[in-house]
Amino acid sequence: MLSENELWLLSFYRSSEISGALFFGRLAQSLRPGHIQRDLTKHFADESAHAWYWTSCIERLDAKPLKLNEVYQDQYLEAAGMPVNIMEVLAITQVFEQRVISQYSVHSQVPGLNPIVRETLQKIMKDEKWHIEWIRDALHEMEEKHGKELIEKTQRKFKEADREVYQHTMSEHGERIREILHANERLVNGPT
């Protein structure tokens, strides 16, 4: 049985993966064929699969996903401004993917996790690692065209936006994780 906090977290991941799939899908549609479009296609196929893994995980745990209204991808664009070229899109995506993987990794380390949740987190984290890698390589290739300095500056700008969005909208993730941590500790150690 999922607690309220767990159901919120899994639903939050599910909506975020759906938005990711749509975002990268649209991007892949607008680009010319080439290796970036190829990797983007695999990327959005992965995010779609992740949305399904969370849907199926919630279902296997006898629950129904919550409808969450805050889509933080939108907030990113609001805080950082619309990316103006593919380099900027990849830079913002890199920062965003790092945030996602750190949330999954913190969650996967909570003791006493339901095995179905743990298995889903681990399966997804493998793909998320590849997302960070291909984007890092693509940004590296773009140094010739845009210059290393500008790319690094762009990444710093988006990192700042990420911190801002995190503080305003995503800190709920951290709070919910802390609550399941405490609940699981109480289960192991008894009430304090």
Contact residues for Fe ion, defined by CB under 5 A:
17, 47, 50, 97, 128, 131
Alpha-carbon dihedral angle through residues 21, 22, 27, 29, given to the nearest 10 degrees: 100
Nearest residue (CB) to Fe ion, 45 versus 150? 45
Nearest residue (CB) to Fe ion, 118 versus 183? 118
Task: Tell me the closest approach of the beta carbon of residue 138 to Fe ion, in angstroms.
Answer: 14
Nearest residue (CB) to Fe ion, 14 versus 131? 131
Nearest residue (CB) to Fe ion, 77 versus 183? 77
Task: Tell me the closest approach of the beta carbon of residue 13 to Fe ion, in angstroms.
Answer: 8
Q: Is 62 left (phi over 0), alpha (psi -120 to 50) or beta?
A: left
- Using CA atoms, how far residue 133 sits from 61, 127, 190, in Å, is 32, 10, 43
Task: Tell me the closest approach of the beta carbon of residue 125 to Fe ion, in angstroms.
Answer: 9
Task: Tell me the closest approach of the beta carbon of residue 189 to Fe ion, in angstroms.
Answer: 34
- The amino acid present at 70, given as its one-letter code, is E
Is the distance from CB of 150 to CB of 88 less than 8 angstroms?
Answer: no
Instruction: Return the closest-CA partner of residue 12 out of 94, 73, 89, 92.
Output: 73
Report which DSSP code applies to 32: P
Nearest residue (CB) to Fe ion, 128 versus 162? 128
Give the whole-angstrom CA distance, residue 187 versus residue 192: 10
Instruction: Return the closest-CA partner of residue 50 out of 16, 76, 93, 79.
Output: 16
Task: Tell me the closest approach of the beta carbon of residue 65 to Fe ion, in angstroms.
Answer: 16
